[in-house]
Structure 1
Amino acid sequence: TLGAEMLGGLLAGVTSAGVLMALFQSNAGGAWDNAKKMIEEGVTIDGVKYGKGSEPHKAGVVGDTVGDPFKDTSGPSLNILLKLMSVVALVIATMI
């Protein structure tokens, strides 16, 4: 008879971890994208002005390369995963 409790625990863990991960990925992806754009416009760090082609810009491009999939695909797709797991769990719950 522990099946229902275990399924409930699984859903609670997946939901809490999934929501936090989706929020992180969406926000981090947007921040990395905005950081690259800010550097391209020109930014002063410790009295030195940086722009396109500088070392901070190269790091920003790498961050943007990771950030674009985060904000466009990974973060939003976790919402679909959470819904799918809930529906599958409801179907399995009738068999327990």
Structure 2
Amino acid sequence: AAFKMVDEVRRQFREIPGILDGSGRPDYYRAVSIATEHALRGMMAPSLVIILTPLIVGLLFGGPGIGALVIGATASTIPLAIMMMWGGATWDNAKKFIEAGNLGGKGSDAHKAAVVGDTVGDPLKDTVGPSLHILIKLLNTISLVFIPLYMLWLLRGIL
């Protein structure tokens, strides 16, 4: 995706006059289309995993299996999401603390390390933690939606 985007930007610089000096207007729609297309394609496999896992577990192991899946996923995902959000916020606040003049202030080695930490921490705080929250809610919702299918499968096996 990144190479395709780079190729598109180079093409626009080559074919649309005035982009570099600000007199020309880039084709934003094409760049956004490339990013959106690749983001949606990249989400296919994780989406299938989160949709198919409760279905397969429920059909193979029934109610106890789906209960174990939901409890295990919730028990492991919630602490992980909380730790990632707190860790990211801590790295962000460490940078702000140093920029306020502590530990050598801006330009010091501590500040350089804090900038790297903030670069790692921001995605944890802003994307990974909340994404895990959404993932666990989706897993629980899909598990509940498929309950009639599990029951039908179970009754069919008994009869």
Tell me the alpha carbon deviations over residues 37-76 of structure 1, each in whole angstroms, 9 at most, x when there is no partner: 11111114xxxxx111211111101110011111111111
Q: 2:116 aligns with which of 62, 73, 78?
A: 62
Q: TM-score, normalised by structure 1?
A: 0.86
Higher relative contact order (CA 8 A, sep 6+): 1
Q: 2:72 aligns with which of 13, 19, 24?
A: 13
Amino acid in the other structure paired with 2:83: F
Structure (1/2) with the larger strand percentage: 1
Compare CA radii of gyration and give the structure with the larger one: 2
Match of 2:136 in 1: 82
Instruction: Please state if 1:26 is matched with 2:85.
Output: yes
Amino acid in the other structure paired with 2:107: G
Q: Using the TM superposition, give the Cα deviation of residue 95 of structure 1 relative to its aligned residue in structure 2, in angstroms.
A: 1.9
Unmatched runs of 5 consecutive residues or more in structure 2: 1-59, 151-159
**RMSD over equivalenced CA pairs, Å:** 1.4
Q: Using the TM superposition, give the Cα deviation of residue 81 of structure 1 relative to its aligned residue in structure 2, in angstroms.
A: 0.8
Match of 1:47 in 2: none
Q: Using the TM superposition, give the Cα deviation of residue 4 of structure 1 relative to its aligned residue in structure 2, in angstroms.
A: 1.2
How many angstroms apart in 2 are the aligned matches of 1:42 and 1:57? 10
Identity %: 49
Q: Using the TM superposition, give the Cα deviation of residue 2 of structure 1 relative to its aligned residue in structure 2, in angstroms.
A: 3.7
